[in-house]
Structure 1
Amino acid sequence: MDTTYHSNIPIETLSLLDCDVRNFDFNHPIKNIFFDNIEYIRKLDASGKARPCILDNVERSLLCHTCYLGFDQFECPDCDNWNIVPHSCHSRFCNACGVKYAKQLAAKATSFCLDCPHRHIVFTIPEELRNWFRQDRTRLNLLFVASRNTISFLINKSLADKLKKKKLSDTHYIFKDIPVRNEFGMIATLHTFGRDLKWNPHIHRLIPELIYSFKKDKIKTFHHFNFTKLRKTFQFELMRLIQEVGGLKKPEEKNRLYKNHPKGFYVYAKFKSNDNDSNNASSNKNSKDIQGCVNYFIRYAGRPAMAENRITEYNKETKTVSCFYNDHKDEKRYDVTDNVIDFINRLIIHIPDYHFLTTRYYGFYANASKKTLDKVHALLGIKKNKDYSRETRTKALKNKLDKFKYRTHLIDSFNRDTIQCKCGAIMQYTYTYNPLEDKRNDRTYRKRCIDEMYKMRLRRRST
């Protein structure tokens, strides 16, 4: 590819291209709000009050699907028609990219899930600890470990009693290196927000009601989750891990938490639904339940903490944003009107740090345990007389991911084919323009592009 030619395209030319093929009167309220208040984000970044990831993610999301991030050009072989397909931003604060990313993530997660009932469990921390986790976001890793240890303790109760008699100290990941343990599977996603957008870190877990015994090389059902034990074990494990990293140094702090929460920290777990493993209808129901559950708690893995359809009004004159949410407790609708700056602040605190994984896998669902997962699938396949081999699962995953390729996904979502010419022929790819080639984070370039977009919007409003 002749990169010299592409690098000579000025920003002004790109803005004209966008003016011709894109509508800059954004229909997306979140993008509109941040575009009008980008200077506020820049000031926060310059003063050091905002994490570096905030400005980068916001700017990239504003440039998403514009020629400023580059484009692929297609030309019709039968006529002179041509089309350009702008590149997307792949930001973790973009609704357009986030929807597709969540679908891909959900497809990958459900591809290796066992064909059995799964339990959706939510682990929540008390209000007293929330600010402690916000002060240093690496501490959020402890929530994953504590919830993982809680489930591991429940399914290895007899093993835990034996180790307690021997007075062996707990490790960071309990029972991880003990070969005779019972193994479980787990998909975990971190949400740092409630429906009202307040800082409220909690972990969503999807756990199969099936465990694997390394000692006996057998699988067995496990669907009894003692709620009291869940709450108290999670409380103990989280406080133990917090003390490991230097938190809760004073004994009175720890005692106060035990006193204020005598029943343990809040844990929500759905009851087991009736099923019949020998029934194909049940098998279909299991897969639908798993897909629905995964879609629910993975949907915010790569996009803002609020769905745009919850924003009812953005008033530029009064600089206010009106939105609504349904409270978990009573499911009543609450309408809220906020100052636009307060609204922005409530959204950006939930942007994850660089390289922080909000979705993780444990037990035989982890990448390092593929051989164990193959064994479990094989044993389940013998029990149900079905083929759950890795080859079958990989083929099914490929078929799912093919649906999320750019052209296929666009046709399925909007019934529109961007590379089909008006004459009916399929356009051929000609070249790619990539202004950020070998530059992963060019803030100066992004700033120039956004400033040019802003000037263009002013010109369009004045005409």
Structure 2
Amino acid sequence: MKWGPIAMDRIVMYDGESVLFSYKDKRTNRKETHLMSVEAFIGALIRHIPDRHFKTIRRYGIYSRRIKTLMKQVMAVYQKAVRRRLVELKQVMRVKSWTEKTVEVFGYDPLKCSDCGEFFEFMGTSVAKNGRLKVQYAKDRQARHYMLEVNQNIAKEAYQTKYKQAEAAAYDRCRFSWERQRRIYLSEMPQA
């Protein structure tokens, strides 16, 4: 035997006539102590010692020496199949990029030019913060510079559009209207 049936640190007390030892009760899952006479304790210990010339079976089933090589081959095939399934599972569970999601949902690649068929290169993203476009991510310094220029142009175009709309609204308010003048003139005339 490699180890005895009870560890020395579990024996709490021995006075020559009785032995007090601790154990873990599997039913209550608590540590408990038990008091036995020396003869009963030794009888419980030697129960684990096999008889002289007693043959013990150490390896059986898939660990048997007779089928050890066959079981190695079976396990290699099994592990290869499991590995293949894990690779397939990883591909299914992999987080898809936004281009893959767009192709899946809408049926077209957002990075492919609709006119010439060439592919765009992703250089970064801009987000709107406090009503202005800010560069959130840029691939490199040149991309950041270009994105800042584009953001400024977009802001300039938006400003010009708002300015033209405000100008048109002000012009509509101040424009001479014969109908409005007639209503003002008629309201000032005394009613007969």
> Does the alignment reach a TM-score above 0.5?
no
Give the number of the structure whose alpha-carbon radius of gyration is greater. Answer: 2
What range describes the TM-score normalised by the shorter chain of this pair? 0.3 to 0.5
For normalisation by structure 1, the TM-score amounts to 0.17
Higher relative contact order at CA 8 Å, sep ≥6: structure 1 or structure 2?
1
For normalisation by structure 2, the TM-score amounts to 0.37
